[in-house]
């Protein structure tokens, strides 16, 4: 974390400082690999200017020991978006029909939510995090997570579904081996 005078650095200096810190902590990795830094700042032009002064000169000399290249951050966004669309665009192949849904929930005084991971038999993974707009107990949050996972799997074309949850109560109630006692849980 930045402290003292570092808090007043310009954005470009903060990026250079972060790069220096990473280079120090990951020195072996930086020496053994080519490093690509994606930023929306003109980092390369500033770091490798001949008329630098002060700490930027020191950082420039230190960083010149490594194979570091700079790319505009916009290219990354475009590539990620392109990859995402290519991955989820339906093609001529059949949709994945067998899915496994992993759920986990969280509920506390500040709110509740859930995390879902859907994995297809073909290796496609979809990760989703949910924040519920209502107050929920842990059991309610687990049921909501399970229902959201099932809904999402059906949307993805699932015909066969495995549901994995860490709530024994939810599992036994879904299997019909236990009855819900609380009225607000019975509706699930």
The 3-state DSSP class for residue 39 equals: strand
| Residue 158 confidence (pLDDT) | 85
Strand partners, 114: 105, 130
For range 170-175, the mean pLDDT: 80
> What is the number of residues in the chain?
188
Domain boundaries 98-186, corresponding CATH code: 3.30.420.10
The residue ranges of every structural domain in the chain are: 4-76, 98-186
Mind listing the pLDDT tens digit for each residue in 47-75? 766 666 677 778 888 888 888 887 776 54
Distance, in Å, from the CA atom of 148 to the CA atom of 137, rounded to the nearest integer, reads: 16
């Amino acid at each position: 974390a930045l402290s003292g005078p570092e808090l007043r650095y310009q954005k470009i200096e903060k990026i250079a400082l972060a790069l220096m810190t990473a280079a120090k902590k990951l020195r072996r990795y930086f020496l053994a690999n080519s490093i690509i830094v994606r930023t929306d700042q003109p980092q390369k032009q500033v770091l490798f200017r001949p008329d630098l002064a002060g700490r930027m000169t020191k950082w420039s000399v230190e960083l010149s020991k490594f194979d570091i290249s700079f790319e505009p951050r916009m290219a990354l966004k475009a590539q990620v978006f392109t990859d995402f669309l290519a991955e989820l665009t339906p093609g001529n192949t059949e949709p994945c029909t067998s899915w496994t849904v992993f759920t986990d929930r969280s509920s506390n005084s500040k709110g509740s939510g859930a995390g879902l991971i859907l994995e297809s038999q073909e290796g496609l993974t979809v990760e989703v995090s949910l924040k519920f707009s209502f107050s929920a107990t842990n059991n309610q949050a687990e049921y909501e997570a399970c229902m959201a996972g099932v809904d999402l799997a059906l949307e993805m074309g699932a015909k066969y579904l495995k549901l994995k949850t860490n709530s024994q109560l939810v599992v036994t109630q879904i299997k019909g081996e236990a009855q819900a006692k609380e009225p607000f849980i019975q509706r699930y």
